[in-house]
Amino acid sequence: MKTKPVSKKGIEIISLVTAIILWQLLADLVIGNTFILPSFTDVVYAFITIIERGVLFTDLTISLLHFGIGIISALVIGVPIGIAMGWFHNADRVADPLIEIVRPIPPLAWIPFAIVWFGLTHISAGFVVFVGAVFPIIINTLTGFKSVSKVYVEAGKVLGCMKSTSLIRYIALPYSLPSIAAGIRIAMGVGWMCLVAAEMFGVSKNGLGYKIWWHYYLHQMDFVLVYMLILGFLGLLIDRVFRWYVDGKLLKWRKGVVV
């Protein structure tokens, strides 16, 4: 008798349940110290406590505010710079050495200047996220525009796109959208990782990153793990929504080449 193959969702559920069971056994029977590794049940109780206190919504709102400030600023600044560098040779020659000097500097190194320039405000936290997010957007936009074939540019000129603005709008930008979208996705991941550091220096008494450090100082590692998992799941949700919109709306035409 043939057995039915396990569905894809079934495999995912089994793997998650197995990981939770191993986590619980490791925490209770091997480690035995909630400060080193809280168990799954400890984390569940901590999550319920956070819900009962009513602070989770405020923490989510503050963190999304900081993230939004950084990502929107990175888009507004990064995409035009990438377009200019990818389309105009002189702009690339001027901006490339400056960007390559600043880009390797870790975003955390900018925290002192964020405090000096913007104070302990939401903007200073958003600035740290911005520093981590802007360079992937610039590089991927630049790469997308530089990869535009001259054949498409010449075809655009034949069809009436004689100005650079028209060629960028109708030829280069649509062609570069997959690369730009990939850069934005990478930027969101890097910016989300910078969020904890952006909130740890006390710009607000709320926020997912701030609460991680606050509970750590209180030796409440179960709450620390709760906020870490919330960061992970929320980052996953943001990425899925972005991919659903970009792949399903803006880049829907690419599905035609999938066999």
Is residue 144 over pLDDT 50? yes
Q: What is the mean pLDDT of residues 106-117?
A: 89
Q: What is the CA radius of gyration of the chain?
A: 23
Residue 70: pLDDT band by 50, 70, 90 thresholds?
Answer: very high
User: 1.10.3720.10, 3.40.50.300, 2.60.120.260, 3.40.50.970: which CATH number matches 38-251?
Assistant: 1.10.3720.10
Does residue 220 have a pLDDT over 50? yes
Overall pTM surpassing 0.75 (yes/no): yes
* pLDDT tens digits, 180-209: 999 999 999 999 888 888 888 777 778 888
Which two structure tokens, joined as six digits, stand for 24? 């619980």
Instruction: Render the burial of 40-51: b for 16+ CB within 10 Å, e for the rest.
Output: bebbeebbeebe
Question: 177 vs 43, 53, 70, 154, 166, CA distance in Å?
Answer: 41, 44, 21, 20, 16
> What percentage of the chain reaches a pLDDT higher than 90?
25
Kindly list the domain boundaries of the chain, sorted by start residue. 7-33, 38-251
Look at residue 1 in the predicted model and tell me its pLDDT.
Answer: 46
CA distance 160 to 143: 25
Residue 172's pLDDT band, with cuts at 50, 70 and 90, is confident
Q: What is the DSSP letter of 90?
A: H
